[in-house]
Amino acid sequence: MSFDQPAWLWLLPMALLPLFARVRGALPNAWVALLPPDRASQALHCLLRGAAVLGLAAVIVAVAGPYRPEFEVERVGRGAEIVLVLDRSRSMDQSFGGGRNPAIRGTGPEALDYYSKLRANEARETKGVVARRVLSEFAAKRPDDRFGMIVFSTLPLRLLEFTQKGEVIQAAISAGNIGRGLAETNIALAVEAALGYFEDRPYTGSRIVMLVSDGGDRLDPSARERIAQLAHETRAAIYWIYIRSARSPGLLPEQAEPPENADAVPEYFLHRYFLSLGTPYRAYEAGTPEALQQAVDDVNRLENLPITYQDTIPRRDLSSWGYAIALTGVLLLLGANLLELRRWA
């Protein structure tokens, strides 16, 4: 236990004053000296003096501001350390585009009719809103996990350091629903920043970078080298939940596409790069809110291994206990005073 203002404790000797207080004379009775000793009265006398001493001491200690400092405890649960990496680009403010339809290609009348019907039937919620709702439910189902969070467009923004506090996690996930995103997307910097969360941390269980984005990126050689080095050093698994937009290419080229598209299309390139890292990697294509929910549920099912983590127990103020003890002593003395016999009936 520590104190905010320990100087008040110098007044504690004053709490002994009730022990030296003079007792008022007994009721006038000529025969009181001949009465045998009353052990009950003596016990009550000691009790009331003790209540006075305890009440004064409790008030002085409470004024000194006692508190229990914060401390860390080691806990063991089932879960992972997860960094949520959420795309905040302008395209995430659009609605879902559905899955790829092999029968509809190009920009002819059939394709235009297909996409117009698709947009008419899809929900009005944007990809960003649905993604945050699904991630919020995902975090709520995993109380033993420690979550960090990054949102990104041109640059990554670290919204949340690793924490297990549910209210803080939910607030961070909901924080980006206001306003519109930027036009550019830099996944390389976002993934590099997410892997940086695990640097200089003891390896205590599963580590996950969960990338939620509706586009890919062609990484330059230096970015590819940095990400590969961090991925091997941190031993983090990468999950890419790719949210499909209308006319988006997907993650794998079709057989009829020319081979050079494998490097020209950002989605193809990024998917192949993640596969080449040699670290655990899974990719999901989500063209509808239901598919996005299924992808997140699959991650929830796969990553549920034992994990050891340090939990910080916050500071706790103890002054209320001192005031409560002092109030109890005062009420006891007040009750005894009200029941005191002033004169013989």
Amino acid at position 102, single letter: P
Cβ atoms of 96 and 244 within 8 Å: the answer is yes
As a whole number of angstroms, the distance between CA 235 and CA 228 comes to: 10
DSSP one-letter code for 288? S
With 0.75 as the threshold, say if the pTM is over it: no
As a whole number of angstroms, the distance between CA 135 and CA 211 comes to: 11
As a whole number of angstroms, the distance between CA 157 and CA 93 comes to: 18
Q: Percentage helix, strand, coil, to 5, in the chain?
A: 45, 20, 35
Q: Which residues pair with 80 in a beta bridge?
A: 206
Cβ atoms of 79 and 304 within 8 Å: the answer is yes
Type and span of the H or E element at 227: helix 221-234
Mean pLDDT value of segment 132-137: 86
Query: pLDDT confidence of 246, banded at 50, 70, 90?
Result: low
Q: Which residues pair with 281 in a beta bridge?
A: 238
pLDDT at 24: 59
Q: Which residue has the higher pLDDT, 184 or 133?
A: 133
Q: Which residue has the higher pLDDT, 248 or 339?
A: 339
Tokens describing residue 29: 């009775």
Q: Using the predicted structure, report yes or no on whether residue 23 has a pLDDT greater than 70.
A: no
Residues forming CATH 3.40.50.410 domain(s) in the chain: 72-312
Query: pLDDT confidence of 119, banded at 50, 70, 90?
Result: low
Tokens describing residue 224: 């590819």
- SS (HEC) of 242-267: EECCCCCCCCCCCCCCCCCHHHHCHH
Report which of 148, 138, 172 is spatially closest to residue 84, judged by C-alpha positions.
148
Query: pLDDT confidence of 121, banded at 50, 70, 90?
Result: very low
Q: Does domain 72-312 have CATH number 3.30.720.200?
A: no
Report which of 313, 72, 309 is spatially closest to residue 203, judged by C-alpha positions.
309
Q: Which residue has the higher pLDDT, 186 or 95?
A: 186
Query: pLDDT confidence of 83, banded at 50, 70, 90?
Result: very high
Query: pLDDT confidence of 192, banded at 50, 70, 90?
Result: very high
Q: Using the predicted structure, report yes or no on whether residue 328 has a pLDDT greater than 60.
A: yes
Query: pLDDT confidence of 10, banded at 50, 70, 90?
Result: very high
